[in-house]
Each structure stands twice: as structure tokens, then as C-alpha cells.
Amino acid sequence: MRIAPVAIALFAMSVAMPAAGQTLTVTHPLPVNSHYGAAATAFKEVVESRTQNRIRINIQRSDNERENIEALQIGTGDLTITSTGPVGNFVPEVRVFDIPFLFRDYQHARGVLDSAIGQEVLTRFPARNLVALAWIENGFRNLTNSRREVNNPNDMRGLKVRTMENQVHMQAFRALGALPTPMAFSELVPALQQGTVDGQENPIPVIVANNLNQVQRFLSLTRHVYSPALLMVSPNVWNRLSDADKAVFRDAAKAAVTANRNRVSQDENTGVEELRRRGMTVRTEVDTSAFQQALAPAFEAWGREFGAQAIERIRSWRPN
Ligand code: EAX
């Protein structure tokens, strides 16, 4: 009889708070020395210092983004950093941000995602058994391939291009006359090595961090689509955190956003030169207006799917 209240109190504590010494793992698909690594490290530093190491963060590379997301839903994974590549298959409201040539530049993309437009989409995750802490970023994507210099859409004809498992991107590459081949990031390098695909597209930070220059000769600065990313946590973890720890996670996510964006900006400044130095042939002047014209039928389809007004609200966003 006497120990009962103690037992109940201990049980309540164990449900409400992580036990002492709890370690949570953040997965992400890139090397430590990357814009995702920077985000994960900043997140870890804030969580560990603010909880005096009561919650420790372990960072683990795991390069199948879809599987990382599924692990959060099932509860076998704790946290993950992922591009929006496969996310629209889980949370369809995210797809509008995957439209090509939607954002003018980094300031525009970051501004929209930080505004009510982007924040509203984050509230859609819990209904899909996921919790999104913050928008981070992957960067503007550029085309690489092993066959030829690509300057305009005509050069894309018949090119087999690996895309992410993303309906919007696949639709775009079909409209451009390429043959989109969706696959997980984990399959990308083997597919390029074996010639299953001729090309792929990724932001400069990813091409540099993953040494894609070793398997691709030509780089065209198409900047055809901005690639947002997310820091997500499993509801299984989130729902057990105290309100104070949730606040720590939110602050840690802010630190992750800053570290991530700074690193993307830095990689954008130095990456192209670095890739030239590693031997890539880089085409900096690409006829992007021809790409946009070639996408006209796809833009019409997205207007019907996502609402022309919703798209225009994103396009016309301006910094205050
Ligand atoms: O999130 O799959 C991709 O091409 C992504 O850009 C990469 O995994 C980083």
C-alpha cells in the first residue's frame, strides 16, 4: 500500500518525460560534412546543452529518405532530415512547393517557407502520423549527365534522368522530353555507374558532398526547381516530451535551420569552382526561359491540381 503512490508517480514520470540518459537518433542521407550534417550537428548541440545531456542526440547516415520517414511513422525511428523528394507521397499538401521555377531565389524560397504559407503546411503532418519541426533546405537543383552538354530542353530529349520518387518532378521531366526514372538516393550512384540512367539532378551542396563528379561529366546550372527539406520527429517521441523539452526541440530546430541555410549559401558560393577543379564541364548559362516554355502544359496541370491562386500566392510573395 505504501509503495503504490511512488510507483504511480514513477510510472507517470516515465510516460511524461524521457528517462535519464535517453539517446535519440537523427537520420539523414548525406555525409557529415554537408548542409544536412550542419543542421543535425546544430540540433544536437542545442538539445544536449539545454537538457544537460539528459537527452543525447546520435547522428546517423541513412540514405533512403522514404524508409527514414516510414520509420518515424512506425516508431522505429526518432528524427530525420529529408528533402521533400518522397514527402508528398505522405503529406500531399507539400507537393505545391516541388513545382519547378516556383521560387526566384533563396530569399524567396526561405521567405515563403517561413511565412504563414509554409508554416500552415507544417500543421498538416500530424494527421499523417508525422511531426515536422522546421523547413530546412536542400537547395536549387541542377542537372548533371554523362552524355552531353545540356543548354536547352532539346538537349534533354531521350535522356534517362534519375528523379526522386516525386510525382511533380517526374511530370516535369516527362514534359521536357526526358525519361524520368524515379529511385531512392541510395540507388543513385550504382545506377549512374552501371549506366541504368544517364543523368540526375541535385543541388550543388549534394553534388559536392557526395562526389557525384566521379560519376558524371557534365553539369548544367538549370536551377530548375528549389528542393525544400524538413526536420521531422516521430509522434512516438514528440508526444512523450514534456512541454519544456518540446520548447528545447523547437529552439534546436531553429539553430538547425540557420546552420543549414548558411552552409547551403557557402556551398553555392564555392561549389561550382570546386566541381570544375574536380574535372566537371560546367555550363553556367542555360536557357531557362526555354525550359519554362517547355513546361507550359505541366504548369497548366499543376494549376488545376493545386489551384492557380495558391500558386500565384507563392509566386507573388515579396519580402516586407
Ligand atoms: O536530400 O534524393 C535526392 O536526390 C535528394 O536531393 C538527396 O537525397 C538529399
Number of domains in the chain: 1
Indicate the top mutation candidate among 27, 65, 66, 208 to test ligand 1's pocket, ranked by most ligand atoms within 8 A of CB. Answer: 65
For residue 320, the model assigns a pLDDT of: 82
**Phi and psi of 77, rounded to 5°?**
-120, 155
Give the model's pLDDT for residue 4. Answer: 53
Query: Which of 35, 61, 82, 164 has the most ligand 1 atoms within 8 A of CB, as the residue to mutate?
Result: 164
CATH of the domain at 240: 3.40.190.170
Regions of the chain with pLDDT less than 70: 1-20
pLDDT value of residue 270:
98
Name the closest-CA residue to atom 2, ligand 1.
Answer: 185
Domain contains 278: yes
Do the domain assignments include residue 13? no
Residue 50 forms part of a structural domain: yes
CA distance 238 to 313: 32
Cβ contact 86:69 at 8 Å: yes
pTM over 0.75: yes
Whether 8 is in a domain gets the answer no
Find the residues whose C-beta lies inside 6 A of ligand 1: 29, 65, 83, 85, 138, 164, 185, 202, 206, 227
Q: What is the pLDDT of residue 131?
A: 98
Q: Which residues span the domain enclosing 41?
A: 21-315
Q: What is the structure's pLDDT at 1?
A: 44
The reply to whether 55 falls in a domain is yes
Per-residue confidence (pLDDT) for residue 5, from 0 to 100: 52
Closest protein CA for atom 3 of ligand 1: 185
3 belongs to a structural domain: no
Domain membership of residue 180 (yes or no) is: yes
User: Is beta strand 22-28 parallel, antiparallel or unpaired with respect to 79-83?
Assistant: parallel
66 falls within a domain:
yes
Q: Which of 80, 83, 94, 135, when mutated, tests ligand 1's pocket best, judged by the most ligand atoms within 8 Å of its CB?
A: 83
| CA distances (Å), origin 169, targets 28, 69, 267, 273 | 21, 19, 24, 27
pLDDT at 12: 47
Say how many Å lie between the CA of residue 207 and the centre of ligand 1: 10
